């Protein structure tokens, strides 16, 4: 059965890239069932209002609870005779970090719903309503420690990271093995033809056909790169037989 992904946003066109390439093909293949909903379809006033001023004062606007409540009801009712429940994922600057580990966990779920906030965010009662009245698991997730204007960009990234882990979505060609962050080390340098380009040569070991030497060189490169760019990712398990982090 296809993994179902619902996205609610005031900018549904922002999610159009999900119809392209990889994710688009997975949709055609029936592996992913992606539905995008316009939050404004769940407003009833002439101006299709989704936001209002914050109680307690402060800058900016807050997303009103009612449209979100109706949008979630619509998502839960749509093509859902069994009354199944999605895991509600809400991007937010103050959420738990989105990591490859979290992507792997979410890729195992049959149904994810994403709420894309804008303005200063969503009225807190929507989260409480979703958890307590709709019985949804709700996770607030951050893409990183930087500030976006809304959740759409985060959802594009998360859907790509999660979707590509769903069996069959990416062929064996783009293998999932040795992916960066899969085993905590960054990836090794990669090369293709020509072997000599602009007076620059491909490391000879890669042309040697000595697969043991190639694997050793690649591991060494991953350690060196990780030490240089992401020392925070290095830990004891990457130490060599001498208990040291073998970095030339």
Establish if 147 lies at the interface with ligand JDQ (CB under 6 A).
yes
Rounded Cα distance between 41 and 9, Å, is 10
- In the bound state with ligand JDQ, the residue whose beta carbon lies nearer, of 147 and 190, is 147
Establish if 151 lies at the interface with ligand JDQ (CB under 6 A).
yes
C-alpha radius of gyration, the chain, whole number:
23
Q: How far is CA 176 from CA 107, 128, 161, 168, in A?
A: 14, 37, 11, 11
- In the bound state with ligand JDQ, the residue whose beta carbon lies nearer, of 94 and 171, is 94
The SS3 assignment for 83 reads coil
Handedness of CA 16, 17, 23, 24 (dihedral sign): positive
Establish if 154 lies at the interface with ligand JDQ (CB under 6 A).
yes
Cβ(169)–Cβ(26) below 8 Å? yes
Count of other CB atoms within 10 angstroms of residue 137: 12
Q: How many residues bind ligand JDQ (CB under 6 A)?
A: 17
Establish if 91 lies at the interface with ligand JDQ (CB under 6 A).
yes
Establish if 61 lies at the interface with ligand JDQ (CB under 6 A).
no
- Closest distance to ligand JDQ from the beta carbon of 166 (Å): 23
- Region near ligand JDQ per CB under 6 A, out of 33-41, 136-144, 162-170, 218-226: 136-144
Interface with ligand JDQ (CB under 6 A), residue from 118, 155, 162, 165: 118
Binding site for ligand JDQ (CB under 6 A): 91-93, 117-118, 120-121, 142-144, 146-151, 154
């Amino acid at each position: 059965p296809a993994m179902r992904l619902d996205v609610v946003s005031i900018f549904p066109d922002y999610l159009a890239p999900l119809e392209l390439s990889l994710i688009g093909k997975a949709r055609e293949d029936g592996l992913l069932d992606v539905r995008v909903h316009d939050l404004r379809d769940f407003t009833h006033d002439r101006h299709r209002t989704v936001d209002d001023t914050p109680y307690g004062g402060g800058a900016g606007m807050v997303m009103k609870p009612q449209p979100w409540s109706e949008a979630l009801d619509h998502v839960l009712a749509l093509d859902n005779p069994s009354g199944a429940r999605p895991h509600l994922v809400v991007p937010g600057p103050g959420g738990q970090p989105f990591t490859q580990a979290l992507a792997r966990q979410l890729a195992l779920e049959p149904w994810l719903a994403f709420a894309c906030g804008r303005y200063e965010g969503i009225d807190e009662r929507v989260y409480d309503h979703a958890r307590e009245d709709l019985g949804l698991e709700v996770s607030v997730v951050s893409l990183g420690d930087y500030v976006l204007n809304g959740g759409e960009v985060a959802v594009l990234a998360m859907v790509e990271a999660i979707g590509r882990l769903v069996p069959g979505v990416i062929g064996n060609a783009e293998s999932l093995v040795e992916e960066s962050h899969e085993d905590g080390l960054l990836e090794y340098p990669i090369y293709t033809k020509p072997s000599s380009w602009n007076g620059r040569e491909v490391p000879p070991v890669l042309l040697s056909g000595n697969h043991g030497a190639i694997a050793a060189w690649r591991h060494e490169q991953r350690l060196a790169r990780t030490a240089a760019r992401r020392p925070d990712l290095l830990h004891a398990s990457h130490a060599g037989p001498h208990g040291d982090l073998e970095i030339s």
